[in-house]
Structure 1
Amino acid sequence: MILVLNAGSSSLKIEVFDAALRSLIAGSVTNLGTAGALKLGEASTAIETRDHAHALALMLAALAEAGYPLASFTAAAHRVVHGGAILTQPARVTDPIIKTIQSVIPLAPLHNPNNLAGIDALRATAPEMPQYCSFGTAFHATNPDVAIRYAIPKTQHDAGIRRYGFHGLSYANMVADFGDALPARLLAFHLGNGASLCAIREGQSIATSMGYSPLSGLTMGTRSGDIDGAAVLRMSKSLGEDETDRMLNKNSGLKALAGDNNMKTLLERDDPEARFAVEHFCYWAARNAGSAIVAMGEVDAVAFTGGIGENAAPIRDRIMDLLGCFGELPVHVITADEEKQIARDALTLMAGGH
């Protein structure tokens, strides 16, 4: 069995998979550092945690009580948001790999430290257990230089200012789910509170809408999507850097346009603001899609995943209406499952003797 961990700033999520990638049980610890809850399967218990290590200890105890003791796991696997330009493949956790993850913390200061906290906590508890990590940016490492490079001085590019792309584990899982039926040129949408698209040709990412950070690209739940750098500089002068960052990432997107970032609620509303927000979301998804199709040269099919992509048929229909200029295209809906992809990566590495 593989224990998959996803350590966030205030939560620890786990899922257990067998060798056939069947999910056996899933759970989470919420509100780390304060009063929260431990959920495992159908059970939920109010708890109070100190940090990731304490949350992991409580989760491992709950797993053992549920019939999944620590000794029953062959390995553990972790989600790491950012691998930078170096970590472009899943890897076994070693001291050099940890140092490399630490080196790219400036690229993901809110995520990589928490991902590392989960790795460190399990290493301290079970030092002999093989651990693996999968990177949210790695799938896009196949993008050509012309898609990655911003037209800025080389000194800034060499300092790490370039397009990386995100949601890579979701897109990798989509490719695996298609198997031999994977279309040669697939336009893939991951639509949720965070939203992106990816041009996938012959199973590889060749262009994606997110860039240096997850802020760019499509209109999202609370993120602005693409915005002129000069506008950001102007806002930063009046609001300050931190407040501008907070506004663009936490208080923009659908939330700014209609006061709500819940697409289900917006679709149920019938006021001008809600209708405009929905149209804005679909328009910019389709407009970015045109760019992705140019990168592929053509498009054979479209696939949707993510909370909105899977569950909001009106959104899929409107985006496809806007893409009607490309002809009738097959549409697929794929269940998002990053945890399954992380387990798949670990099993692949283990099969190769790593």
Structure 2
Amino acid sequence: MGAVSRHADAVVLALNSGSSSLKYGLYAVAGSYPTLLLGDVIETTDDHGVFFDTVSIALRKANASAPTVIGHRIVHGGPHRDRHCLIDDAVLADLEAACAFAPLHGRASLALIRMAQARYPALPQVACFDTAFHAGMPDVAKALPIPRAYRADGVRRYGFHGLSCESILRQLGDDMPARLVIAHLGNGASVTAVLDGRSIDTSMGLTPSGGVVMATRTGDLDPGVLLFLLREKAMPAAALATMIDHASGMMGVSGLSSDMRRLRDAAATDADATLAIRMFQRSVCKQVAAMAASLGGIDILVLTGGIGENDAATTQAIRDGLAWLPALRITTIPSQEDEQIALHAAWLCSGSKPDHFL
């Protein structure tokens, strides 16, 4: 592994924090080509210092080149950050404010950034926003059907999984169709309509909790359900938040697991596991059909994410559920969020980002 080619523009440590794990990758970036030097997934602990200790030991054991820039995946950029950018005090202040929209993801990301700054004080740090890809959506997609006064507070549809969507477009290259739908299906799941390379609609809204039925998140839900729980069950706000994000979706319906593999294993004898799977699959098909309406048709549907890439039964169910769409091509492409982080971090530091990349 050792030294990086002298042609590399940057060596990027890409950090991708999830709800239960931290993924890192060390990439050598030359032009538009990220090369993975080293990477791993580490279970989340409350002490990010342990994470960086583990990364430092791994880099040393592999005799890997030292990073020259650090890139962070940020789930929610809030109303003031719609482009990937170098992190400074103003950016940190905006990220702090954006925690109101995604407190679970936002707080974890801020803690990781601050620890990275303490460990690597001389290195530039870059924020890569999952919301940035959707920033140019038209008003009919961005606006939510609530009193317009709330728009001033940033209450609108943001959309997520933007780095994953960007990576799909990059991999498609010249084969990208005019009307593309990307279904990122994993622990979190969303469906995005892409017209001529630009996001025009997406299933997630103000937060990453809406849209498709997910592993533990509700997806779209009649707001009357929440009012009922508040009014009739006196459910506290914190308990309601836990239910929406951690105890619902396939986990809540099945009462068994949020893991598609375990649900598949149990489906033969467990009716609730089967129901959870069927609800997930139906939800994806409904969202794809909605994106077809936004696009005026679909040329290609791309499945990506852990379930989208690996669960053949889900792929077949989606094919069957969308068989009425004429001549629909469905393909699977791996999500490359970390590679996308590496590219953006290298380009922002060098100022040489190619015009044809997002």
Gaps of 5+ in 1: 34-50
Contact 1:53–1:117 under 8 Å retained in 2: no
Determine the C-alpha separation between the residues in 2 that align with 1:85 and 1:212: 10
- Taking structure 1 as the reference length, the TM-score comes to 0.89
Q: Which range is displaced more, 199-208 or 117-126?
A: 117-126
- 1:20-35 map, 5 Å: 20-33=33-46
Per-residue CA distance 1:130-151 (angstroms, 9 max, x = gap): 2211011111112111111112
Out of 52, 55, 61, the residue aligned to residue 51 of structure 2 is 55
Q: How far apart are 1:320 and its partner, in Å? A: 1.8
Task: Say whether residues 1:334 and 2:336 are aligned partners.
Answer: no
Q: How far apart are 1:15 and its partner, in Å? A: 0.7
- 1:36-51 map, 5 Å: 51=47
Q: Percent identity among equivalent residues? A: 35
RMSD value over aligned CA atoms?
Answer: 1.9
- 1:204-353 map, 5 Å: 204-237=198-231, 238=233, 239-259=235-255, 260-268=257-265, 269-271=267-269, 272-352=271-351
- 1:175-194 map, 5 Å: 175-194=169-188
Q: How far apart are 1:353 and its partner, in Å? A: 5.6
Task: Say whether residues 1:105 and 2:105 are aligned partners.
Answer: no
Per-residue CA distance 1:246-299 (angstroms, 9 max, x = gap): 122211111222222221222232133233222211111111211111111121
Q: Which range is displaced more, 298-307 or 120-129?
A: 120-129
Q: Which range is displaced more, 342-351 or 205-214?
A: 342-351
How many pairs are equivalent? 335
Contact 2:37–2:64 under 8 Å retained in 1: no
**What amino acid sits opposite 1:56 in the alignment?**
F
**What amino acid sits opposite 2:16 in the alignment?**
N
Gaps of 5+ in 2: 1-10, 354-358
**What amino acid sits opposite 2:263 in the alignment?**
L
> 4+ residue runs of structure 1 moved beyond 3 angstroms?
7-12
Contact 1:12–1:56 under 8 Å retained in 2: no
Determine the C-alpha separation between the residues in 1 that align with 2:263 and 2:191: 22
For 2:5, the equivalent position in structure 1 comes to none
Contact 2:253–2:273 under 8 Å retained in 1: yes
Determine the C-alpha separation between the residues in 1 that align with 2:228 and 2:142: 26
Contact 2:102–2:208 under 8 Å retained in 1: no
Determine the C-alpha separation between the residues in 2 that align with 1:318 and 1:353: 43
Alpha-carbon distance change, 245 to 2 in structure 1, aligned in 2, over 3 angstroms: same
Alpha-carbon distance change, 201 to 121 in structure 1, aligned in 2, over 3 angstroms: same
Q: Which has the higher contact order (CA 8 A, sep 6+)?
A: 2
**What amino acid sits opposite 2:264 in the alignment?**
L
Q: How far apart are 1:54 and its partner, in Å? A: 4.5
Out of 63, 66, 80, the residue aligned to residue 67 of structure 1 is 63
Q: How far apart are 1:58 and its partner, in Å? A: 4.3
Q: How far apart are 1:11 and its partner, in Å? A: 4.5
- Taking structure 2 as the reference length, the TM-score comes to 0.88
SS at structure 2 position matched to 1:111:
helix
